[in-house]
Amino acid sequence: MAGPPANPFSRKSLSGANGEWVTLPADGYDGDLPSWPLHNDPSTAEEALWMDLWRTPQAAMWAESGFERVVARYVMVTVLSEEEPTAAMLSEVRQLEDRLGLSPMALKRLQWVISEPSSGELAEVIEDDRFAGL
C-alpha cells in the first residue's frame, strides 16, 4: 500500500478503526504529571483524583494525545457527582469514562489492552495481605 504509515495517535487509530490494538503499560504511566490545565485551582479531592488518574495505564495514551483538559473535566465532574449525584452528572461521568478508556468495555472499544504485569509487580500482588487465602 502506497503512502505514509498510519499515525498511531490519529482519531482513527485511537478509536481502533484501523484494526490495530494499542498496548498500555501495566505498571501505569511513568512520565511527568501534567499541571492542572484549567483556570480554576483544583480542590483537594480533585487534586488527589488527578494524581491517581495520571498513574493509570490509560494515561500513557492521554499524554501522547494531549487529553489533559478532558481528564481535568472528568475529574471535576466525577468529584461533583460524588458530592451531589444527579442522573445527568452520573451520565456525564460514564460518557467521559468511556472516552478515556476507564472501563473494560471502553478499553475494548478503543482497542487498548493493558500489558501483562512484570514479574516484580505480580510478586507484590501475591505477597499483599489483602490477597491472602485466595
Please give the grid coordinates belonging to residue 32: 511527568
- How large a percentage of the chain has pLDDT more than 90? 71
pLDDT at 131 over 50: no
Task: For residue range 68-105, list pLDDT tens digits in order.
Answer: 999 999 999 999 999 999 999 999 999 999 999 999 99
Interatomic CA distance for residues 59 and 27, integer angstroms: 11
User: Residue 69's pLDDT is what?
Assistant: 97
Instruction: Tell me the mean pLDDT in the region 30-45.
Output: 96
Task: For residue range 3-24, list pLDDT tens digits in order.
Answer: 666 666 666 666 556 678 999 9
Q: What is the mean pLDDT of the chain?
A: 85
Q: What does the angle CA 47 – CA 64 – CA 105 come to, to the nearest 5 degrees?
A: 75
User: Residue 126's pLDDT is what?
Assistant: 45
Interatomic CA distance for residues 110 and 101, integer angstroms: 7
User: Residue 116's pLDDT is what?
Assistant: 87
User: What does pTM read for this prediction?
Assistant: 0.74
